[in-house]
Structure 1
Amino acid sequence: MRVFKEEQRFTQWWLIAIFTIVILGILLNFFSYEKPLQQFSTFSIVSKTIGIIIGVGIFLVKMHTRIDKSGIEVWFSPFRFTRKSFTWKELEKAHTRKYKPVTEYGGWGIRGLSKPKAYNVKGNKGIQLKTRKGRYFLIGTQQPDNVDRVIRRYFNNSEQ
């Protein structure tokens, strides 16, 4: 049995630069006062702390993709609620394609609160899925050739 697994992280240089500047700005603002805990309100301190945690946390998030004989599964760790699974029987179409992350989905991450939906981290290549119910879902990948081989193997064998 062939199993395809891929893990991706947010490692774009421009994203790292933005979050580094934001975190440094927050820290510089906070420590520029002689007694920062007395100068800021509780809300301000909490919001700055949350900003730093989110800024650092974004680099700890990983997108996992698994393709095997049962279907395709994707999720962002450590967030269990992001898990999406598609069995081969519920898919009408599955193939890789080039896409435009910003214009088609509004960027990277968990995208498309309505239709269509996408999970992507970087790049412009993905696995395009269409369910038998007519729903579309795109999963970003950095290994489109390997994904194509695995999809051809399982998807074509499951069609009946």
Structure 2
Amino acid sequence: MTAYAQPIFREEQRFRDVWWIMLLVFGLAALQWALAIQHFVFGQPPGNNPAPASMTLLFWIIFGNGFPLFFWWLRLVVTVYADKVDIRFAPFVRRVIPKAEIARVRPLDYRPLRDFGGWGVRGWGNRVAYNVRGSRGVELTLSDGRVVVLGSQTPEALAAAISH
């Protein structure tokens, strides 16, 4: 494949629509903001044995700002080329599956929590899923028997592009 090959299909998904993750992340952020305001603005460190101001500041930076920004940055990008499927779960995972290794492609409905233990890069044994939202995707059965599930908001289009 040349470096300038054009993709047949590209889909980018982010965690922004998973309400419970956002509730958790922004709940932590609100808590940290409240603790930081109580500590630095009102001069009343929380608790009976308060942490030093530097520790409160560090926790505020990590949990009050870092977690929300981190979840804002996470994304799943699936790009289909003529000869391969490129899966990126940024910033952690990149997997390239040559089309020659794909034995079967089919759209499917699944339950991320029950089938894979949640969202993200999940799985066990010979089954792995890359998903960030929803319950629809494409199942790739590889020639060695392993199964890869790609979460997608347009599974029929993704399956058609891979089968192309």
Q: TM-score, normalised by structure 1?
A: 0.80
Q: Equivalent pairs: percent with the same residue?
A: 23
Relative to structure 2, which stretch is displaced further, 44-53 or 137-146?
Answer: 44-53
Q: Which residue of 2 aligns with 1:20?
A: 26
SS of residue paired to 1:134:
coil
Q: Deviations over 1:16-58 (max 9, x none)?
A: 233221100111123212165xx42455643443223123210
In 2: Cα distance, 1:23 partner to 1:99 partner? 32
- Among residues 3, 11, 14, which one is paired with 1:9 in the alignment? 14
Q: Deviations over 1:105-130 (max 9, x none)?
A: 11111212654211101011111112
Aligned CA RMSD, in angstroms, stands at 2.4
1:51 matched to 2:63: yes
In 1: Cα distance, 2:126 partner to 2:72 partner? 27
Shift of 1:139: 0.9
SS of residue paired to 2:161:
helix
* Paired amino acid for 1:120: N
Matches within 5 A, 1:69-108: 69-77=82-90, 79=91, 81-108=92-119
Shift of 1:145: 2.1
Runs of 4+ aligned residues of structure 1 deviating over 3 Å after TM superposition are 41-48
In 1: Cα distance, 2:148 partner to 2:156 partner? 19
In 2: Cα distance, 1:122 partner to 1:87 partner? 25
Q: Which residue of 1 aligns with 2:3?
A: none
Q: Which residue of 1 aligns with 2:81?
A: 68
Gaps of 5+ in 2: 1-5
SS of residue paired to 1:50:
helix
Q: Which residue of 2 aligns with 1:157?
A: none
* Paired amino acid for 2:103: E
Do the aligned residues in 1 keep the contact of 2:25 with 2:67 (CA within 8 Å)? Answer: no
Do the aligned residues in 2 keep the contact of 1:116 with 1:137 (CA within 8 Å)? Answer: yes
Shift of 1:63: 1.1
Q: Which residue of 2 aligns with 1:30?
A: 36
Q: TM-score, normalised by structure 2?
A: 0.79
* Paired amino acid for 1:104: D
In 1: Cα distance, 2:102 partner to 2:55 partner? 47
SS of residue paired to 1:118:
strand
